[in-house]
Amino acid sequence: MNKKVGIPRALFYYQYYPLWKVFFEELGAEVVLSDNTTKKIMDDGVKLTVDQACLPVKLFHGHVLNIKDKVDYLFIPRLTSVSKNEYICPKFGGLPDMVRNTIKDIPQIIDTEINLRKSDKKALEAVLEIGKFFTQDVRRIKNAYKKALENYYEFRNKVKGGTLPCDILDKKFNVIRKNSKRRLNIALIGHAYNIYDKYSSMNIIDKLKKNDIDIITIDMIDDGIINENAKHLNKQMFWNYGRKAIGGATYLIERGDIDGIICLMAFGCGIDSFVCDLIERKIRKNSKIPFIVLNIDEHSGEAGMNTRLEAFIDMIRWRNRDENNLPAYG
Ligand code: SF4
């Protein structure tokens, strides 16, 4: 019987699921995903974790609880770094331990460390270690990884072509366009697991789409462009996400066709608190693009989010309609 590997639909899922799904399936395993986030998953995560944990980490625990009894293994790699000379948030590195010490009766965790800070070659070492949970055939593991990478690059290319990762993962490509008003281009900046999770983001993507808005996220921007635009920083960013967010925002500010920028921040995220601040300073200094920071937390009342979002969109439309028509003398 095929071994079942559980992948929580949270955190790294939004960026790396296309890779790991193919990898495990090529090794003969069955991949089991947790359900879409619901109030119960959120509430379970909140109950299990300490108050100080950020919202996405709380949610991750809820997703683990959702699948732990349906699988033979839980895939929670110890992600330390996914790019040279950069780190990702240390909470990713601590995830396997947090889960192990918080949730009772869990299956074996595949917690191999993935640390590419010094070299990309470390990826293969990690992959071989993970693959050996299923087979000792090294060639088979390497072939599975090759196919997984092909699928991953296909996913990345679709995203760079303008399709939202959540639409690819949900297999929903057709966006209904009403064409009733001029479409706006709005950049939505935030961690993938915050902006693409419908429940925790309070469905911000669908709300924007329904308002005739085309959404651009930093995942759609080519890495070379991001790196070029992150060069203005006085020193290299410590965090992978920080470089992407600031490099991506700088590019979007200078592109000239962006009507507004939204930063979606998770309550309790230290990285977000200063990355959003740096982006705001850059916008205020170099442009007149309307900007708003929206905070998400475990409270589920949507009224506050809706009001702020509607006001932001209305303000952009009024400004485009009225201020653009003013003659130079006022
Ligand atoms: S980067 Fe922020 S939101 Fe993401 S896991 Fe770390 S603290 Fe949480």
pLDDT per residue over 60-82, tens digit each? 999 999 999 999 999 999 999 98
Atom of ligand 1 lying closest to residue 54 CA: 8
Q: How far apart are CA 227 and CA 14, in angstroms?
A: 22
Q: Give 257 Cα–ligand 1 centroid separation in angstroms.
A: 30
Confidence of residue 231 (pLDDT cuts 50, 70, 90): confident
Give the pair of three-digit tokens for residue 89.
Answer: 């948030």
Of all protein residues, whose CA lies closest to atom 1 belonging to ligand 1? 89
Average of per-residue pLDDT values in the chain = 90
35 CA distance to ligand 1 centroid (A)? 21
Question: Does the pLDDT at position 301 exceed 90?
Answer: no
Question: In the prediction, which pLDDT does 271 show?
Answer: 87
C-beta atoms surrounding 18 within 10 Å: 23
- Highest mean pLDDT: which of 36-45, 283-292, 301-310? 36-45
Q: Phi and psi (nearest 5°) for 181? A: -130, 170
Quick one: which of 290, 317, 319, 294 has its CA closest to 306?
294
- The ligand 1 atom nearest the CA atom of 268: 7
Cβ–ligand 1 contact at 91 (below 6 Å):
yes
The model's confidence at residue 325, banded by pLDDT at 50, 70 and 90, is: low
Characterize the bridge pairing of strands 213-217 and 184-189.
parallel
Cα of 54 from ligand 1 centre, angstroms:
6
| Equal CATH topology for 4-160 and 165-325 | yes
pLDDT at residue 171, as a whole number: 76
Tell me the pLDDT tens digit for each residue of 174-209. Answer: 554 555 567 899 999 999 999 999 999 999 999 999
User: What pLDDT score was predicted for residue 324?
Assistant: 64
Å from CA of 241 to ligand 1 middle: 10
The CATH code that applies to domain 165-325 is 3.40.50.11900
Q: Does domain 4-160 have CATH number 3.50.50.60?
A: no
Three-state SS string over 254-312 comes to HHCCCCEEEEEEECCCHHHHHHHHHHHHHHHHHCCCCEEEEEECCCCCCHHHHHHHHHH
| Residue 266, ligand 1, Cβ within 6 A | yes
Question: With a 6 A CB cut-off, is 269 part of the ligand 1 pocket?
Answer: yes
Task: Ligand 1 pocket test: pick from 12, 58, 269, 274 the residue with the most ligand atoms within 8 Å of its Cβ.
Answer: 269
Place 274 in a pLDDT band, splitting at 50, 70 and 90.
confident
Q: Which residue's CA is minimally distant from atom 6 of ligand 1? A: 89
Q: What is the pLDDT of residues 41-58, one digit of tens each?
A: 999 999 999 888 899 999
Percentage of the residues of the chain whose pLDDT score is greater than 70 = 94
Ligand 1, atom 3, residue with closest C-alpha: 269
Q: Is 271 in the pocket of ligand 1 (CB under 6 A)?
A: yes
Whether 89 lines ligand 1, by a CB cut-off of 6 Å, is: yes
Identify the pLDDT of residue 1: 73
Q: Which of 272, 273, 275 to mutate to test the pocket of ligand 1 (most atoms within 8 A of CB)?
A: 272
How many angstroms does the Cα of residue 56 sit away from the middle of ligand 1? 7
Ligand 1 mean position to 319 CA, how many Å?
34
Ligand 1 centre to CA of 5 (Å) is: 24
Q: Is 195 in the pocket of ligand 1 (CB under 6 A)?
A: no
Instruction: Output the CA 243–ligand 1 centroid distance in Å.
Output: 15
Q: Where are the domains of the chain?
A: 4-160, 165-325
Q: Model confidence over 106-150: pLDDT tens digits?
A: 999 999 999 998 888 899 999 999 999 999 999 999 999 999 999
Ligand 1 centroid to Cα of residue 329, in Å, is: 48
> Considering only CA atoms, which of 245, 218, 269 is closest in space to residue 86?
245
Unique residue bearing structure tokens 């399709």: 163
Identify the band that residue 173 occupies on the pLDDT scale cut at 50, 70 and 90. Answer: low
Give the separation between CA 246 and CA 264, rounded to whole angstroms: 14
Distance 269 CA to ligand 1 centre (A): 5
Mean pLDDT of 22-31: 97
Q: Give me the half-sphere count of Cα atoms (radius 13 Å) on the Cβ side of residue 235.
A: 4
Higher pLDDT, 286 or 59: 59
Mean pLDDT to the nearest integer, 8-26: 96
Query: 319 falls in which pLDDT band (50, 70, 90)?
Result: confident
